[in-house]
């Protein structure tokens, strides 16, 4: 399975001290591949400078460090807004490989549900949960 991580999910380790990588392995097994989009990198970089509070800036910096440290594949996209890029990526690639979207963004989830995408979400600020949907 392919896991595509949204910008807000990279903030979880810094905000809630949840090891998302251990949780991804627990939920999807060791064979899952983790990716993020270049638009998410851009958003995280912007948050390190422009976030309203220190905690969010620090969480964004940690997210960027984890992406580099874990050698996460960064998929180049032409969209400036990560949510639009994720929707386009899923539409273009859903038939080739099951994709799980790691996000806390309710609007993004509602845009992706008609495509039958499964989600990974944070529960009780302590662990991740896999919400499986059937693919169309």
Domains and CATH numbers, the chain: 6-131 (3.40.50.1010)
In order, the DSSP letters of the chain are: -EEEE-GGGGGHHHHH---HHHHHHHHH-TT-EEEEEHHHHHHHHHHHHH-SSHHHHHHHHHHHHHHHHTT-EEE--S-SSHHHHHHHHHHHHTTTS-EEEE---HHHHHHHGGGT-EEEEEETTTEEEEE-----
The model's pLDDT over 74-117, given as tens digits with 9 standing for 90+, comes to 999 988 789 999 999 998 887 767 789 999 999 999 999 998 88
The model's pLDDT over 117-127, given as tens digits with 9 standing for 90+, comes to 899 999 999 99
Predicted TM-score of the model (pTM) = 0.92
């Amino acid at each position: 399975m392919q896991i595509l991580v949204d910008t807000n999910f990279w903030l979880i380790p810094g905000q809630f001290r949840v090891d998302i990588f251990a949780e991804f392995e627990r939920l999807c097994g060791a064979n899952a591949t983790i990716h993020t989009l270049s638009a998410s990198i851009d958003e995280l970089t912007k948050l390190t400078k422009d976030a309203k509070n220190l905690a969010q800036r620090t969480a964004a910096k940690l997210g960027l460090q984890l992406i580099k440290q874990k050698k996460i594949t960064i998929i180049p996209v032409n969209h400036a807004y990560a949510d639009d890029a994720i929707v386009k990526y899923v539409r273009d690639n859903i038939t080739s490989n099951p994709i799980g979207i790691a996000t806390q963004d309710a609007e993004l989830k509602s845009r992706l549900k008609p495509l039958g995408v499964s989600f990974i979400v944070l529960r009780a600020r302590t662990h991740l949960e896999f919400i499986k949907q059937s693919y169309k």
